[in-house]
Structure 1
Amino acid sequence: MRPAAGAPAPQPGWSPAAAAAVRRARHRARRQQAPCVTGRDVPAALIDDDGCRAVYVLRRAGVALDEPTERLRAAEDAVRP
Structure 2
Amino acid sequence: MQTLSMACMLGFISSFYNTKSVVLCIGITAIVCLCVTIFSFQSKIDITSFQGLLFILCMVMFFCAIVMGFVVPFGYVSIQKYK
TM range, smaller chain? 0.3 to 0.5
| Structure with the largest fraction of helix | 2
**Is the radius of gyration larger for structure 1 or structure 2?**
2
Q: TM-score, normalised by structure 2?
A: 0.38
